[in-house]
Amino acid sequence: MYDKNNVFAKIIRGEIPTKKIFENDYALSIEDIDPVATIHVLIMPKGEYTEIYDFVSRASDIEQKGFWEVFQKTAELMGLKENFNTLTNSKKPPFFVQSVPHFHLHLIGGERKKELHKW
């Protein structure tokens, strides 16, 4: 079940200020507040999706297209057409657990600042 009061839902509604990078009607990208590299961006759909499988299963074609448009434009704006990593988590282990129950994709590039997680 989707939590309408999660931090990303509040950011999308404009209740929490953030540094936006790119936005369209369906998604937005913001700077990560705890970056693991010199470039660490979060890309999230504006719709209520808990994780990636929920998004690809339920989002309309236009929402999915809008999400990937934000990904592409953000990568271009950040100079990351090449040499980047992406990461998304699910609700449960085995490796990483998603800390905010709203689907988001990490776009990471540049110089590493710290380890993302220890396994």
Active site residue 104: yes
How far is 112 from 21, CA to CA, in rounded Å?
Answer: 20
Phi, psi of 9 (to 5 degrees): -60, -40
Residue type, 85: N
Residue pointed to by tokens 């009061």: 5
Instruction: Kindly name the residue from 40, 102, 104, 106 that is annotated as catalytic.
Output: 104
Q: Which residues are catalytic?
A: 104
